[in-house]
Structure 1
Amino acid sequence: MTELLWGKEPHRTRGPKPAITLTEIAQAAIAIADAEGLDAVSMQRIAGELPVTKMALYRYVPGKTELVAVMSDLAMGSPPARPDGPWRESLLTWALDLYDGFMRHPWLLQSTIGRRLLGPNELAWMERGLGALSDIGLTGGEQMDSILVVTSHVRNIAQQSATFPGHTVGLTEEDMQQALAEIMATEAPRFPHLVAAMSTTAGSENQGLEFGLERILDGLELLVKSRDSCAEPN
């Protein structure tokens, strides 16, 4: 698994030149997952998209578990290059970039959970996030925990917003808001607090993304300032 994730494809000294590469296999799998969901990805289906047989694919990757790991890291890609800035601004931008990546490939929300080996791109995302926190007075463990909390919030909002091909029929945000407004118009006495809150709500569902991120960053900023005050001489 490690060799595959880190781009070390099997070395062949004999036989004909390979017809395809592991990257091409992963790219075909990504296209299927983007269009139809992760469950639609199979060796048989991928073989139908490439000039090889299903059995030939196993010369490049042992099975679907390994393939999902490779395609996930490839789909994650490298984090966008961003200019250096204040830690809070840098971490917020990092989180929004991560959210955009999940929305481009919603199946990543399924494939990047649990204990598993990480590839170079996913580690590069962690490195970029930790870089924003590296010199603000947090311990290494606190930096890692901060990234975990931010990532968890991003994943949760993305999970609520994404449409998963092959699993659900997604509604647009406008459809959902209109349907909810119609229900509230007739059921207002049952939900007075919800009606009152909705009457002053404006903007998109992603407000929750940025609101939550700002509150997380508020907490980190308070922690950093408390460390600074303790470090000041009496």
Structure 2
Amino acid sequence: MLWGPRPKPSRGPKPALSLDRIARAGVEIADAEGLPAVSMQRVAGLLDFTKMSLYRYVPGKAELVALMVETAIGEPPQQETVRDWRRELRDWTHRLVTVFDRHPWLLDATVGPRVMGPKELAWMEQALAALDGTGLTGSERMDAVVLLTGHVRGIAQQARAARPMGAPEKQLAAALGELMREHGERYPALTAALTSAHHSGGQDQALEFGLHRILDGLAVLITERCAS
């Protein structure tokens, strides 16, 4: 269903549904209530069809979720024609963060052994292509993409946990601040760091801080390779 021609039901009347429509219905439910709320029954009900009729198109929930992931992640955005690996990876990371922010359930749906669809692999292809010509090995380019994706997932995980209470770093700072008021003398380094962050306005920068440190590390490695 992800890679071949979209199959048509082998029997019964003329198809009244499509895989795209079914996937969009699943995404709608997951966006509103999370991935556990998605079931063949719920999707069929949203589409005003019976559960059994849905099985003529999708064999089960695993296949449904795979289609939902492909629909939610979409095509990677077009990159600028000017080649700049650092800017390309920075923009790629920001856009991937936006996808996870729109569809937090992707955190649950994109783990473990599974078949990836062409759109999801196109995202990986775009990030790897940004590192072409940098001198990094194929393994290093793959590891760089995994590292960036892991950073995005970590930020998305924090953001999901914080909903609807606000920014995760502000939550953490508030909770730690309360503890430090009572026990700060036991944790002087933590107290000093929190105080400095508060006065400098340096909170809620985890995405950018981590992203730039990853890119800085890649830049050092790329410079070494170019010099050798």
- Answer whether TM exceeds 0.5 for this pair: yes
| Residue number among 6, 20, 24 corresponding to 2:3 in the alignment | 6
Q: Which moved more, 1:139-148 or 1:123-132?
A: 139-148
> What is the CA-CA distance between 1:203 and the residue it aligns to?
4.2
Residue 176 of structure 1, CA deviation: 5.0
Residues 1:33 and 2:27 aligned together: no
Partner of 1:46: 43
Q: How many residues align?
A: 222
* Secondary structure of residue in 1 paired with 2:219: helix
Deviation at 1:28, TM superposition (A): 0.7
- Report the alpha carbon displacement of residue 177 of structure 1 after superposing the two structures with TM: 4.0
Corresponding residue for residue 143 of structure 2: 145
Of 13, 16, 34 in structure 2, the residue corresponding to residue 16 of structure 1 is 13
**2:52 equivalent in structure 1:** 55
Q: Which deviations, in whole Å up to 9, do the C-alpha atoms of 1:62-103 show, x marking residues without a partner?
A: 000111111011100111223134111111111111111111
Alignment partners' CA distance in 2, 1:177 and 1:100: 24
RMSD: 2.0
Return the letter of the residue paired with 2:111: I
Q: Which has the higher contact order (CA 8 A, sep 6+)?
A: 1
Instruction: State the secondary structure of the residue aligned to 1:115.
Output: coil
Query: Matched residues, percent identical?
Result: 52
User: Which amino acid counterpart does residue 53 of structure 2 have in structure 1?
Assistant: A
Q: Any gaps of 5 or more consecutive residues in structure 2?
A: none
Does the 8 Å CA contact 1:6/1:120 hold for their aligned counterparts? yes
Of 183, 196, 199, the residue aligned with 2:195 is 199
After superposition, residues 150-161 of structure 1 pair within 5 angstroms as 150-161=148-159
Cα pair distance change 1:135/1:29, threshold 3 Å:
same
What corresponds to 1:171 in structure 2?
165
> Offset of 1:170 from its aligned partner?
4.4
Identify the match of residue 119 of structure 1 among 117, 120, 135.
Answer: 117
Shift of 1:117: 0.9
Matched AA of 1:82: Q
CA contact (8 A) 1:9 1:60 kept: no
1:76/1:121 contact within 8 Å kept: yes
C-alpha deviation, 1:30, in angstroms? 0.5
Instruction: Give, as a single letter, the amino acid of the residue that structure 2 aligns with 1:65.
Output: A
Structure 1 pair 195–222 and aligned structure 2 pair: CA distance change class (3 A) = same
TM-score by length of 1: 0.87
Q: Is the 8 A contact 1:153 1:212 kept in 2?
A: yes
Which residue number corresponds to residue 95 of structure 2? 97
C-alpha separation in 1, matches of 2:101 and 2:203: 15
CA distance in structure 1 between the partners assigned to 2:32 and 2:68 by the alignment: 14
Q: Give the C-alpha shift of residue 187 in structure 1.
A: 3.0
Following superposition, the deviation at residue 16 of structure 1 comes to: 2.2
Take 2:10 and 2:42, find their aligned partners in 1: how far apart are those partners?
29
**1:181, distance to aligned residue in structure 2 (A):** 2.9
